[in-house]
Every structure is written in C-alpha cells, then in structure tokens.
A and B are shown apart, each in its own frame.
Chain A
Amino acid sequence: MNRALILGGALSALMVIAALLSFVWTPFDHGAMNIPDKLQTPNSTHWFGTDHFGRDMLSMIMVGARTSIAVACVAVGIGIGLGVPLGLWAAARQGGWVDEVIMRGNDLIFAFPSLVIAILITAVFGAGAINAIIAIGIFNIPVFARVTRGGALPLWAREFILAARVAGKGAARISIEHILPNIANLLIVQATIQFSLGILAEAALSYVGLGAQPPTPSWGRMLADAQTLVSIAPHMALVPGMAIILTVLGLNLLGDGLRDALDPKLRVARI
C-alpha cells in the first residue's frame, strides 16, 4: 500500500481538523494575554508553551491553521478557476493566436519574481489577507494554465478525440467531456503542490508583516514575533516552524501518493 499517501493524508487531515476544531474549541482563548504566564516552555497546561504575552501557542497554532488553509485554498481556487479554462482554451486552439497570447502572457507572469510582486501588491494596496491571497493566486494561474495545456495537448492528438470530432462534437464540449476528466489527476496533484507552496508563501508574507494583520493569528507572524526572542525562548520559533513543515510535508506526500495512486497505467497494472 502507498505509505506516502497514508502519511501525507494523515498529516494534512490533522491540520484541517485542528483548523476546523478551532472554530468551536481551543484550549485557551488564542488572543488572551496573560503576562505572568509568558514564555513558558511546553508543559501539561500549555502543551506548546506560551509566547511573550503569555498567549497559549497551541490555540494560536490551531487558529493560525485556519488562516493558512483559507489563504492557500482561495489562492489555489483562483489558479484553478482561471488557469484551467485558459489552458484548455489554449490547447484547443493549439498554434493559433489564442494559444500564443495565453502562453506568452504566462511566460510574462513567470518572468516576475513572485515574492517581489506579492510584496509590491501588498505594499501598494495595503497589507492584509485578501491582498496576500490575490498576490499568491495570480501566480497560480500560469501554473495551472501550463499544466492543463501540457496535459491536454497530447490528448488532442489521441484518436479518441478525433473520434469525438468525427462525432460532431465541438472543442468546448470535447474539452469538458474528454479532456478534463483525463487530466484531473494531473490537476489534483498540482493543486496539492500549489497548496503547500501557498502555505509557505503566506507564511513568508505574514513574516514580513504583509500577510494577515493582527489580531488574526498566523504562523508567519508568530515566527516574526519569535525572531528577537529565539535565544531565550526557542520553542516560540520551533512550534510554528514545525506546524508549517509538517503541513507542507504532509501536502507534498499527499500529492506524491495521489500521483502514484491515480496514475491509470499503474492502476491497470495492478488489476
């Protein structure tokens, strides 16, 4: 059985459950400051310790997971929602001007260092989760467009597509009926990868103060808070760091596992 899939799925599920659970319950109020209890190392009351304001780290991690997941989710949604149709369109008009314009546009977005542009956007339009989402989402569009086109092009040369054309079906209908289901695997795998990249990007933006703003907790800002205190309270950096690493690792393993599990060639071989 696929170990990557199980481990990745478990880690990803753990984060999602933590985020969902935080809506109804957290060990402490994530925003409640309690200066006497500040900078506690992990103990039986505060499992992940407390920060410099005495806030419970576990509660903050749980609520922060919400931010990370929401930002990454919407950013991936933007990428899929715009990138996939563009990619399908480009593939259906292979070699035509539509294809050319879409792909050149993609190249152009790739030419921008994504983080710089994300910083530029949040700097100009103001820091905040919404702008972070847009900034990350924009760079997901060419990724999905490219993957979609790359997966669709060889399919367009396949004979079952020709057969569908002989059956009188138009490009849009063929794209939805034949192309999309056959590249769904590719897109799912890519989505998990972009999801993990989104979580990393959100953390980076929050770390430099351009992501979710206080009082919304976020893992990146927890790390920013930890930076000056890392020598006296290393757990303040370790806890959010491990949360990010485990989530991203889980998503990447999930992506790898899904790719193996969904690969039709492998499935046929197993039957």
Chain B
Amino acid sequence: MLRYTLKRLLSLFISLAIASLLIFAVIEVAPGDPASFMLGINAQEDTLAALRVELGIDQPKWQRYLSWVGGMVQGDFGTSYQYRTPVAEMIADRLWVSLPLALYALTLSTIIAFPAGIYAASRRGKAGDVGVMGATQVGIAIPNFWFAMMLVLIFAINLRWFSAGGFAGWDKGVFAAMKSLTLPAIALALPQAAILARVMRSSLLDVLDEDFMRTARAKGLSRGAALRRHGLRNAMIPVLTILGLQFSFLLAGGIIIEQVFYLPGLGRLIFQSISARDLIVVESVTMLLVFAVITVNFLVDLAYAAVDPRLRART
C-alpha cells in the first residue's frame, strides 16, 4: 500500500510539473505586454520599464517560471497586474465560494444518482428502469447554464423562494450562504447526476453477471443481499472514476454557472482577469484548478486501492 501511494505521489508531482510548464508556456505566448496594457498607450518608456522590473517580467523566461512555481509552493501566487494586490488573497476569497459550490453539487449529484442507479439496475428492463434511464438521457442533454436560467425563472423570479443571483457571504451565516448556493448547486448537479446514475446502473449490471454473484446466491443470500454485500463494492470501482472526473468538471463547470448567478467565485475572477489581461491571475487560477483536479485524481487512485486489494498487490 505504501509503495502504491508513493508511486502515485510521484506521478502526481510529474503531472503537476508538466502542467505548470504548459500553462506557463501558453501564457508566455499570449500576445501583448502587460505593462503597456496596464498603463495605456500613452505611457512613457521609462515608466513602462520600471513597471516591468516591478512585475518581474524583465527577467529571462526560465527564471520567471522558477520564481512563479517557487512562489506558489510557498503560497505566493504573485501580484495582480490590475489591482496590485497579492493574487493569493484574491483567490482565497473566491475559493470560499467555488469550492463549497462544487462540493455541494457533488453531494447533491451523489445523493440523487446512487439510489436512482441502484433502483434502475434492480428493475432492469422493467418500467422503473426505462423511466429512470429516459430521465437521465434528457438530463445529460441539458446544458447546465440553461438549466440554471430556468431555475432562476421559476424559483427566483416567479416563486421568489431564492434570490436570482449574488452571494450572501459566509459572514451572514451558513444558512444564508448555503441558500444562495442552492440553485447554482442544483443546476450543476442534475446533469452530472444523470451521468453518474447511468454509470452506477451499468456498472452494477456488469457486476450482476459476474460468477461470484452466483456463488453468493448459492450461499443462500437473497438477490438484494448479494447485491449489497458483494455487488456494490465491486461496482464502485468504475463509479469512483466518474466521481473523480465529476469533481473536476463541477469545479470548472462552476465557472459558467457563476456567470449566471453573479457569484463572486473563481470563474468570475478568471473572466474579469481575462478581460483586463491580468494574466498572472489567469495563470495562477488555472494552475490552482489543475492542481485541484490532479489531487482529486490522486485521491481517487488511493480510493481504488482501498476498494480493490488486487491494485494494492500489483504495485
């Protein structure tokens, strides 16, 4: 198990290193000089030069890459070109919106998808199965930002149960904050729940056909008991993969949903920074998201090993 963890950890660091290089390279080739963008076209050459020194963009590329990565390791994400404030500070505020939103949506998606998938698998081919599968088929086809608009129309504008947008802030209490995240979380979660339910169902059906399920039934376990005791854990292996992918999707998908609900999250930050050509912020936020995704994949790998003893042995 330790060896497996170390090996995964090594590949985690390699992925992070390559990812940071790629992001840095993309930002590097971006046209435009941040200094002249910040100061406008009428800036004096010596002020520009001074600003470049201040921003550190006069140094050779490799040095800037190293100081960027070195800074991030210590929690220093650089200074925003636009606001001249530490990027870390800007990110920290926004993270407290985006991360809870993603987790909220992931929880909702799981709560909906697991029972739906298990129910459909247990009713294979019957009306219940066909109904659930039809609903998921539609659920997958719905763009989440459109669904978000419909939720706003129904629950905020017509029924007035929720506000149409904005974030109450955690200082107004957990309930108020969660309430303002509820519609966005539902909008994010439903299409994902549809995918997860389908994976849960097909993975369970695959397991039901396995020989060891027949062994379990021959022991005297009922169909349901065999499914619970022997089927679920084996079926969880593909489901875990999808859960890992979904977390990254929810984190990124949040970027668009934040636009719909005017939530001050990482997504808003990215868009604001893009339009202001505040590339250091774009770079750092992207790296942070990639870091989150790679870390989640690492955790999923560890979860695999916890579920499947064969993996622990192989490496």
Query: Are A and B close enough to touch in the complex, i.e. CB under 8 Å?
Result: yes
Chain A residues packing against B (C-beta within 8 Å) = 107-108, 110-117, 119-121, 123-125, 196, 200, 203-204, 207-208, 223, 226-227, 230-231, 234, 237, 240-241, 244-249, 252-253, 256
* Closest CB in chain B relative to A170 CB, distance in Å: 32
Q: At the interface, yes or no: B143 with Cβ under 8 Å from chain A?
A: yes
* Selected interface stretch from B56-64, B109-117, B121-129, B255-263: B255-263
Identify which of A123, A237, A246 contacts B150 (C-beta below 8 A): A237
Per-residue CB contact flags for chain B residues 133-148 toward chain A (1 = under 8 Å, else 0) read 0000110111101100
State in angstroms the CA–CA spacing of A29 and B9 once bound together.
Answer: 58
Known A113-B249, A124-B29; judge A252-B141 contact (CB<8 A). Answer: yes
Which residues of the partner chain A approach B37 to less than 8 Å between Cβ atoms?
Answer: none
Whether the pair B252, A245 counts as a contact (CB closer than 8 A) is no
30 A-B pairs whose Cβ atoms sit less than 8 Å apart in the complex = A107-B15, A108-B15, A108-B19, A111-B293, A111-B294, A111-B297, A113-B248, A113-B249, A115-B253, A116-B286, A117-B286, A119-B270, A120-B286, A203-B143, A203-B146, A204-B256, A227-B149, A230-B152, A230-B153, A237-B150, A240-B146, A241-B143, A241-B146, A241-B149, A245-B141, A245-B142, A245-B143, A246-B141, A252-B137, A252-B141
Which residues from A are CB-within-8-Å of B30?
Answer: 124-125
CB atoms of B289 and A244 under 8 A apart: no
Assess the B290–A113 pair: CB atoms within 8 A. yes
Chain B CB within 10 A, most for which of A116, A247, A248: A116
The residue from A110, A115, A208 contacting B252, defined by CB atoms under 8 A apart: A115
Question: Interface residues, chain B, CB within 8 Å of chain A?
Answer: 15, 18-19, 23, 26-27, 29-30, 137-138, 140-143, 145-146, 149-150, 152-153, 157, 245, 248-249, 251-253, 255-256, 259-260, 270-271, 274, 282, 286, 289-290, 293-294, 297
Q: How far is the CA of A203 from the CA of B141 in the complex (A)?
A: 12
| Bound CA–CA A227/B256 (angstroms) | 13
CB of A34, distance to nearest CB on chain B (Å): 25
Instruction: Assess the A207–B145 pair: CB atoms within 8 A.
Output: yes
Which residue of A204, A234, A245 is within 8 Å of B153 (Cβ)?
A: A234
Give the CA-CA distance A267 to B236 in the complex, in Å. Answer: 31
User: Please, how many angstroms separate the alpha-carbon atoms of A112 and B22 in the complex?
Assistant: 11
**Given A123-B274, A200-B143, A245-B142, A230 and B293 touching (CB < 8 A)?**
no
CA distance A249 to B140 in the complex (A): 8
Contact A124–B26 (Cβ < 8 Å): yes
Please tell me if the beta carbons of B143 and A204 are within 8 angstroms of each other in the complex: yes
Q: Tell me, in angstroms, the Cα distance from A203 to B137 when the chains sit together.
A: 19
Instruction: Establish whether residues B26 and A121, one from each chain, have CB atoms under 8 Å apart when the complex forms.
Output: yes
When distances are taken between beta carbons in the complex, the residues of chain A under 8 Å from B260 are 227
Whole-angstrom distance between the alpha carbons of A208 and B29 in the complex? 23
Contact B149 A223 (CB under 8 A): yes
- Separation of A227 and B270 alpha carbons in the complex (Å): 20
Contacts of A240 in B (CB 8 A): 146
Q: Are A115 and B255 in contact (CB under 8 A)?
A: yes
- Shortest B171–chain A CB gap in Å is 28
Q: With A113-B249, A115-B252, A204-B256 known to touch, is A237 a contact of B149 (CB < 8 Å)?
A: yes
Indicate if the CB atoms of A204 and B19 lie closer than 8 Å: no
In angstroms, Cα B253 to Cα A240, docked, is 20
Contact indicator A208/B271 (Cβ below 8 Å): yes
Point out the residues of chain B lying under 8 angstroms from A237, CB to CB: 146, 149-150, 153
B255 touching A116, Cβ below 8 Å: yes
When chains A and B are docked, how far (Å) is the Cα of A162 from the Cα of B129? 42
With beta carbons under 8 angstroms apart, the residue of A112, A115, A249 that contacts B256 is: A115
Question: By the criterion CB–CB under 8 Å, are A111 and B141 in contact?
Answer: no
Q: Report the bound CA distance from A111 to B274 in whole Å.
A: 22
Q: A113 vs B244: C-alpha distance in the bound complex, in angstroms?
A: 11
Give CA–CA (A248, B137) in the complex, Å.
Answer: 9
Out of A111, A112, A124, which one reaches B27, CB within 8 Å?
A: A124
> Given the interface contacts A112-B19, A113-B249, A207-B256, does A223 sit within 8 Å of B145 by beta carbon?
yes
Bound together, the chains give a CA A249 to CA B134 distance in angstroms of: 10
- Smallest CB gap from A124: residue in B: B30
Known: A123-B270, A125-B30. 14 other contacts (CB 8 A): A108-B18, A111-B15, A111-B290, A111-B293, A111-B294, A111-B297, A116-B290, A124-B26, A203-B146, A227-B149, A237-B150, A241-B149, A245-B141, A245-B146
Query: Considering the chains assembled together, what is the distance between the CA atoms of A196 and B149 in angstroms?
Result: 21
> Which of B146, B251, B271, B289 contacts A223, CB < 8 Å?
B146
Nearest CB on A from B152, distance (A): 7
Q: Is the beta-carbon distance between B293 and A113 smaller than 8 angstroms?
A: yes
Which residues does chain B contribute within 8 Å of A246, judged by CB atoms?
141
Interchain CA distance A230-B147 in the complex, whole Å? 12
List B contacts of A113 (CB < 8 A): 248-249, 251-252, 289-290, 293
Q: How far is the CB of B236 from chain A (nearest CB, A)?
A: 20
A244 to B145, CA, bound (A): 12
Across-interface contacts of B145 in A (CB, < 8 A) = 204, 207, 223
- Measured in the bound complex, the distance between the Cα atoms of B137 and A244 in whole Å is 13
